[in-house]
Amino acid sequence: MKKLVLGAVLVLLITIGGGVYFLLSNLDDLVKSAIETYGSQATQTTVQVESVKIGLQNGSGEIRGLTVGNPQGFIGQLAFSLGEISTQIELTSLSEEMVAIEYVRVLGPEIFFELNAEGKTNLNVLKKELAAGSSESSASSSQESSETPKLLVRKLLFTGGKIHARVIPLNKNYELKLPTIELENIGGKSGASPAQIADQVLKILTDRALAEIKKQGIDQYKKQLETEINKRIDVEKKMIEKKLSIRLVSRWGIS
């Protein structure tokens, strides 16, 4: 009987040990998968990561090749390319309900602004998707499991960034500098879910890029295109009304 009990305990320990080994040996892939999943949910586009490297001993993290795809209706493949990302996790917070991240530094982010033939911009479309995703997240937050991790980002820094602006109808391209972005305490006192953090960070980046584009006067083309499109719609509408009127007159004698 004792041998059976001892055997069962050994099997249990080996199973647990195997699970821990699997978790630790695959931690980079698990984090990569989480970023792609939460990011894609927040933006409703394709979010991909080239590689993730987590240092368990010192709490450091390195993410390379994080890209956010363009929404439908735009020519370019990407909306964002976030270059090199380095992080530092506060190890003592790992056993607490809220995990504190000391800093997130993004070196060399690139933003690909696009104004299409319909007068729409990819960044504004992304903003709407993020707002919709944020509303859904808030509505379902009360139903989330208590095991859902809460995060606090103490410092966020974007530096050395560029904005590639493209006005498709006019075949114009612009290269702008993205000003340094430095923020603190993202997630608030009680923290936020990974999806909410992704939502907040992308909103901040989008808003700052749009502000710089407006500052450079590139958004004026959007108003011009919208005016031209409205004129075309009015002309087409009048043509349809005229054709309908002619048909009514020829068929029923109605004028």
Q: Are residues 113 and 200 in the same domain?
A: yes
Q: What pLDDT, in 10s, does the model give residues 47-72?
A: 999 998 988 788 888 999 999 999 99
| pLDDT for res 14 | 47
Q: Are residues 183 and 202 in the same domain?
A: yes
| pLDDT for res 253 | 57
Q: Are residues 113 and 92 in the same domain?
A: yes
Strand pairing category for 78-81 and 110-115 = antiparallel
Count of structural domains, the chain: 2
For residue 194, what are the domain limits?
Answer: 2-218
| pLDDT for res 19 | 42
Q: Are residues 49 and 140 in the same domain?
A: yes
| pLDDT for res 237 | 59
Q: Is the pLDDT of residue 12 over 50?
A: no
| Residue 28 Cα distances to 34, 55, 193, angstroms | 10, 9, 19
Q: Is the pLDDT of residue 179 over 90?
A: yes
